[in-house]
Amino acid sequence: MNERTPTGPPHPADDVTHHVGYLIKRAQAALRAAMDKVLRAHGLTVPQYSTLELLALRPGLSNADLARATFVTRQSGNVVLRGLQDAGLITRPATADHGRARPTHLTEEGHRRLAAVREAVYAVEQRMVDAIPPQRLPALLTDLERLAAALEE
Amino acid sequence: MNERTPTGPPHPADDVTHHVGYLIKRAQAALRAAMDKVLRAHGLTVPQYSTLELLALRPGLSNADLARATFVTRQSGNVVLRGLQDAGLITRPATADHGRARPTHLTEEGHRRLAAVREAVYAVEQRMVDAIPPQRLPALLTDLERLAAALEE
DNA sequence: GGCGGCATGTCAAAATACTGACATGAACGA
DNA sequence: TCGTTCATGTCAGTATTTTGACATGCCGCC
């Protein structure tokens, strides 16, 4: 419908769509959509892929660990894990050796599936990276990290 | 549980948590949590606040317009709009003058509520901005915009 | 005029994520 | 030793969001 501001933009910062917060949300939405599209062909959801990637990097993570790392609640993390377990991509010991936390590991099939999707997912990431001047990438990464850290306290 | 990588990080880019995509997600999650916390005190959700802000900037936007601008489906947008309408913060004509799209506008109460929460929300944004070198902010904004645009096609 | 393409609003159903609550196990200090 | 505190896993219920589908109303084109 109406895509132009009726009064005109007096200053860039007055337009909410140019604020840092809005741009982060926009970038995340675009990334999510692109990953969804790519992962659907492999029968994986974004949270499932993220969990696989985290487990490949740090085997033995518990459900609570994975939930924190994927930015969801423990309860949501649990259903993701259940789905991956039903698909035979991860294993969880029936009983915890130490506390209540049960360390999760990738199965052979899990490693294979992850390897199979990685190329497609990394291509998405590459499309992002290629969109900016290479010499600015390090600064972008550290700035994003500081942004997040500032809000996490 | 185990927070360290078992093999050690050979190269920063090998750690998924240092990828652009992961950092964007992390920043967005932190922003969402911070905004939620602040908005709860005013009885607004993040999508509701976003819609209010968009309507203040571009009065007359339709439900589909707002859904696109807030990165949700039309159906979800409709729920948000219904909530705002029930709260008396927006108005929608019962019948569309032109197509099917019904232009949405803020009520007086809507403007007041938006003005009341803005300070708190902008303080959150300021915490982010203050976390990075000021001279790098413009580059960050344009880079984020390019990142998103590259994935949106 | 008639027709196909397209965007919008909306309904129904399923998936997804969350809040709240509780029990269990470990660590710590009195 | 005991009690407190904390983190974890899990259950139940709710809220939110999405997918899929359909009807309606413009618009361009033949």
Does domain A43-152 correspond to CATH entry 1.10.10.10? Answer: yes
As given in the structure block, the two tokens for residue B7 are 């093999």
The domain spans of chain A are: 43-152
Distance in Å, alpha carbon of A85 to nearest chain B alpha carbon: 20
CA gap A85, A24 in Å, rounded = 32
Pick from A150, A73, A75: which is nearest to B31 by CA?
A150
Per the structure, the residue whose CA is closest to nucleotide D9 at C1' is: A100
Q: Which residues are B105's β-sheet partners?
A: B91
**Is A25 within 8 Å of B71 when comparing Cβ atoms?**
yes
Mutate to test the interface with A, among B32, B98, B147 (most CBs of A within 10 A): B147
Helix (H) or strand (E) segment spanning residue A90: strand A90-91
Residue pair B34/B120 in contact by the 8 Å Cβ criterion? no
A vs B, Cβ pairs < 8 A, gives: 178
Q: Which tokens hold the place of A50? A: 């993220």
Q: Which residues of B touch A29 (CB under 8 A)?
A: 71, 148
| B31 interaction partners in chain A (CB closer than 8 Å) | 21, 24-25, 151
Give per-residue pLDDT as tens, A63-100: 999 999 999 999 999 999 999 999 999 999 988 888 89
Of B15, B125, B149, the CB nearest to A19: B125
CB-CB under 8 Å, B19 with A151:
no
For residue B59, the number of C-alpha atoms closer than 13 Å in the C-beta half-sphere is: 12
**CA pseudo-torsion sign A129, A133, A134, A136:** negative
Chain C: positions less than 7 Å from a protein CB are 7-13, 16-20, 23-27
Q: What is the pLDDT of residue B10?
A: 45
The larger pLDDT score, comparing residue A153 to residue A131, is at A131
C1' (C5) to CA (B74) span, angstroms: 20
Per-residue pLDDT tens, chain B, 153 aa: give them. 444 444 444 455 689 999 999 999 999 999 999 999 999 999 999 999 999 999 999 999 999 999 999 999 999 999 999 999 999 999 999 888 888 999 999 999 999 999 999 999 999 999 999 999 999 999 999 999 999 999 998
Query: Who among B6, B127, B152 is closest to A59 (CB)?
Result: B6
For the four alpha carbons of B47, B53, B58 and B60, in that order, the dihedral sign comes to positive
- 8 Å CB contact of B24 and A31: yes
Whether the pLDDT of residue A14 is over 70: the answer is: yes
Q: Is the dihedral of CA A12, A149, A68, A36 positive or negative?
A: positive
**What class, spelled out in words, does domain B42-152 have in CATH?**
mainly alpha
H/E run at residue B91? strand B90-91
Could you read off the pLDDT of B17-59 as tens digits, one per residue? 999 999 999 999 999 999 999 999 999 999 999 999 999 999 9
Phi, psi torsion values for B30, nearest 5 degrees: -65, -40
What pTM was computed for the model?
0.91
